Structure 1
Amino acid sequence: MENVSAVDTARLETQIGYFLVDLDMSGNSNRTIDTYQFALARFVRFCAANSLPFEEFNPRRAKQFRNYLAASDFKPASINMCLSAVRSLYDYLVFEGEVRVNPVDTGKLKLKLQNRLPGFLTPLEKERVLDWMKTKPRHVELAFRTMFATGLRVSECVALAPEDVKVIEHSYLVHVREGKGNRERLAPVVDRQTAFDLLEFARDRMGQERLFGVALFTLEWHARNCRLATGVDFHTLRCRHTFATELLQQGVPIDVIQEALGHRRLDTTRVYARTAPEAVTRLATHV
């Protein structure tokens, strides 16, 4: 006889599949759908480990799920993201008549986030990371160099197609089609060697759906291994923070950095000014 827990898990995975299709049909970006898929995979593991049918998930279990994520070394922002994803799933299940009420009260469960400065790498730390990446397959190494040289989010990097690498008026750019909030932009490639390598690599990959042919979580996995091997506090977002901080230190106007990063609001970009105060002083003398 088939294990009851396995049946419950299969039923939950089926409902999640329907939910993700609904997200896609509603016009959500691939980045959003990938994020929900990652979060809900953790929810499936929790339910399977506790032999818990999704219909029996309640506020007490929701708190246990939050604590389960914390015990798995998830950071507060990631825990809050997972809780939001599960709440959205149950909104869908209520609408479909699979459950009567939504058991996830994110207002009570969400963890408070610290207002921390963006973490960036020193030149020596960046060199150590890039040296480690040289031991990896070419497409992985180039993906990380691309993030350092463009400030792309990891989700934007993995979504690039070969034709998104462009040369316009002697400038090397990447066309970000799936940015945060479905915003498109052209991001400059600020490192000359990376620009040359990207263009050559893209030409070799023409006809392929994706430029690097890797999943988001593959790059996250390599970043984690890099952190363990080098001792550098490195994750994929550090590439973006380092890119922005380096530009500010070079005296690039903050509104130009805002455009390169694809920030909707200038206030979001201004936080980098606090990581490079000497650059702010240098810029101020030109006002």
Structure 2
Amino acid sequence: MKPFETYKQLFIEYLQIEKNASPLTVSQYSKDIDLFGDFLKAEGISLLECEYANVRLFLSKLHTEQLSRRSVSKKISSLRSFYRFLDREEFIKQNPFVNVSMPKSDHKIPEFFYEEELKQLFTVSDLHDPLGQRNQAIIELLYGTGIRVSECTGIELPDLDLSLETLLVHGKGNKERYVPFGQFAARALRRYIEDGRTQLAAKGKTPTNRLFLNARGGPLTARGLRLILNKMVEQAALTVDIHPHKLRHTFATHLLNEGADLRSVQELLGHEQLSSTQVYTHVTKDRLQQVYMNSHPRANK
């Protein structure tokens, strides 16, 4: 019988080669499998001899640790995939995760910015300063396209077409999509590329094609981008929390509020499943009620 780590490594290679999974996905699956492996070891149970009752005991343990339903669902999904792989390769006789159901989701409504809050963020950058030009380009692009932080920091100069105002986005699982952006983002990007980025790149030790650079001329990291956004919030004297995903939520919410259809928003966000996009419809209910009250003949008092 092969050791636990061998089966895990075979599965990781399957994710990387056959499924073309992102490094973040592979890392999360690895952590979830290790957690389950530690549980099995403590219980004295073999990976290949695990049964449904053992899985139920594992889920009960997660429940006592007060993990969120979302976290539990992610772990179930990881382990389901792992055991489905073991079953496919005929390493096991029965899959203990076949009858395991997902916990009901918490239906957490995404946080988003109101337009007045966003207006303040767009006025804090010093457009005569290279870093200010970069920061303005970042926030215009994040709000103007709804891209993820990893997609933003990964942008390279050839990905941009300023004449057509489109961006080639390298999304999850190496999937690519084109997204448009507006005149405000185009103006901020052109100013930054022609002026601020040139000055920042001159400070770098190694030439790079990355669009967004740090103060030393190197590629901007996801952590650096988050620090930039937090600083902009402080400068705008806002009392709200900010993170790149909040701008992504705002992008989707504002599009739906202005009448965009769900399928188009799904494509722009790069969601594989429509259900991932449907979460944003919750925040448009107030607008729908307002439209109804203003438009239906029997609604007005």
- TM-score after normalising by structure 1: 0.62
Unaligned stretches of 5+ residues in structure 1: 1-7, 131-136
1:152 maps onto 2:147 in alignment: yes
Change in CA separation of 1:263 and 1:86 when aligned onto 2, cut-off 3 Å: closer
1:51 maps onto 2:53 in alignment: no
Whichever structure has more helix as a proportion of its residues is 1
- Letter of the 2:21 counterpart: N
Change in CA separation of 1:84 and 1:198 when aligned onto 2, cut-off 3 Å: farther
- Determine if contact 2:110/2:279 at 8 Å carries over to the other structure: yes
Please give the secondary structure, in 2, of the residue aligned with 1:55.
coil
- TM-score after normalising by structure 2: 0.60
1:121 maps onto 2:113 in alignment: yes
- Determine if contact 2:155/2:169 at 8 Å carries over to the other structure: no
Unaligned stretches of 5+ residues in structure 2: 123-130, 202-206, 214-218, 296-301
**How does 1:164-243 map onto structure 2 within 5 Å?**
165-169=159-163, 171=165, 173-179=166-172, 183-190=175-182, 192=185, 195-196=189-190, 199=193, 204=201, 206-207=208-209, 214=221, 237-243=245-251
- Letter of the 1:121 counterpart: F
- Letter of the 1:244 counterpart: A
1:275 maps onto 2:271 in alignment: no
| Aligned mates of 1:175, 1:241 — CA distance in 2 | 20
CA RMSD of aligned residues (A): 5.0
- Determine if contact 1:13/1:44 at 8 Å carries over to the other structure: no
| Aligned mates of 1:120, 1:37 — CA distance in 2 | 28
Q: CA deviation at 1:69?
A: 4.1
1:12 maps onto 2:4 in alignment: yes
- Determine if contact 1:120/1:242 at 8 Å carries over to the other structure: yes
Question: Which position in structure 2 is the counterpart of 1:39?
Answer: 29
Question: Which position in structure 2 is the counterpart of 1:4?
Answer: none
**How does 1:10-159 map onto structure 2 within 5 Å?**
11-26=3-18, 28-31=19-22, 34-48=24-38, 51-52=41-42, 53-70=46-63, 74-105=67-98, 107-115=99-107, 117-122=109-114, 145=139, 146-154=141-149, 156-157=151-152
Q: CA deviation at 1:41?
A: 0.7
- Letter of the 2:169 counterpart: V
Q: CA deviation at 1:124?
A: 7.3
| Aligned mates of 2:5, 2:55 — CA distance in 1 | 18
Change in CA separation of 1:263 and 1:99 when aligned onto 2, cut-off 3 Å: closer
Q: Which is greater in Rg?
A: 2
Residues 91-114 of structure 1, C-alpha deviations (whole Å, 9 max, x = no match)? 222344443322223x43420124
